Amino acid sequence: MRLGPFLFAALLTGAATHVSAAPSATCSTRLADGRSFLTGGTTSAAPNANPIAIAHFFENDGSLKPAAPMLAARAAHVCIALQDSSILVAGGVSGPGGPTNSAEIYDPKTDNGGPTGAMLTARTSAAAILLKDGRVLVSGGDYSGQIANTLEIYDPAENRFRVARDVLSSARAGHAIALLNDGRILIAGGTDGGRVLNTIDIFDPATEAIRPAGFMTSPRSDFTATTLAGWPRSLRRWFRR
């Protein structure tokens, strides 16, 4: 079994787990049963070189179990476990042709995948997140050397992507994305291709509007943003008194 060609920590997301990482060659997403599902990556240390289509389950006992390969080789793509437990995989570098806008849906129950509606823009190193209403937001990324400021929303009920109403305040790649406790989405930092950004946007899924929401104290790219769970237990007890 060929296990090797995964590179770097990947974007991991899950309904109950708050995970963030810089988008990278391999993509990993957490399933509802606690396992992870790993897709694609590259066969060499060079970023985005020789993308592959293989996929694995990372079982709860730590073992790796092969899954049906993706329809296309992908690196630096996005992958998200949907609310019905199927997995959306989209974009990334697919071969010598560079970025792809193709997308596919994999069903871990049947170990089968199939195509779904493509993104409107071919993106690599985008950041994606599952919205509370079950849709998926894909933000920014790199398309053939240009950094994108656009957002796309995938609706599983329609099996297609469409462009969101608003755009980011800046083009962003290498940015961080996080689900806030109220269901809005924080999108921060990254690079616009020329400079590293300290700006923060908040996306409202209900209106699809982007609102500039302040600044980080330092410009940051390739970083993590993690929403905290609650007040420290000692403070929670203090407030209950």
Partner 1 sequence: MPDGRVLFAGGFDGERSLASSELYDPAITLSSPGPPLSAPRRHHTAMRPAGVDNVFIFGDAPERGFSRAHTRRTAGAELFVPALNEFVPAREIAAADANGKTTAHTEPHVTIAALDAEKQSARRQILSAYPEYQCGSRRSKIGAYTPRAVELKLIPS
Query: Please, which of residues 207-236 interact with partner 1 by CB under 8 A?
Result: 213-236
Separation between Cα atoms, residue 80 and residue 99, nearest integer Å: 18
Q: Return the residues of window 88-117 that contact partner 1 according to CB under 8 A.
A: none
Cα 97 from Cα 101, distance rounded (Å): 12
The only residue of 97, 110, 145, 182 in contact with partner 1, by rule CB under 8 A: 182
| Of 176, 178, 220, 213, residue with least CA distance to 198 | 220
Whole-angstrom Cα distance, residue 174 to residue 84? 29
Which residue lies nearer to partner 1 by CB, 34 or 114? 34
- Residue 176 as a binder of partner 1 (CB under 8 A): the answer is yes
Span of 21-29, 73-81, 113-121, 146-154 interacting with partner 1 by CB under 8 A: 21-29
DSSP E strands, 127-167: 127-130, 136-139, 142-143, 146-147, 151-155, 160-163
Task: Using CB under 8 A, pick the residue from 189, 192, 203, 210 that binds partner 1.
Answer: 189
Does 160 interact with partner 1 (rule: CB under 8 A)?
A: no
Nearest-angstrom CA–CA distance, 6 and 171: 28
The span from the CA of 138 to the CA of 90, in Å, is 9
Q: Interface mask (CB under 8 A) for partner 1, residues 42-81, using x and -?
A: -xxx-x----------xxxxxxx-----------------
Give me the least distance between CB of 237 and partner 1, in Å please: 7
Q: Rounded distance, CA 218 to CA 123, Å?
A: 26
Q: State the nearest-atom distance from the C-beta of 90 to partner 1, in Å.
A: 19
Tokens of 232: 């420290």
Q: Which of 4, 96, 97, 145 binds partner 1 (CB under 8 A)?
A: 4
Dist. CA 6–CA 40, nearest whole Å: 7
Q: Does 147 bind partner 1 (CB under 8 A)?
A: no
What's the min distance (Å) between Cβ of 170 and partner 1?
A: 14
Residue 2 touches partner 1, criterion: CB under 8 A = yes
- Residue 170 engages partner 1 in binding (rule: CB under 8 A): no
- Cβ atoms of 100 and 50 within 8 Å: the answer is no
17 sits near partner 1 (criterion: CB under 8 A): yes
For residues 127 and 225, the answer to whether their CB atoms sit within 8 Å is no
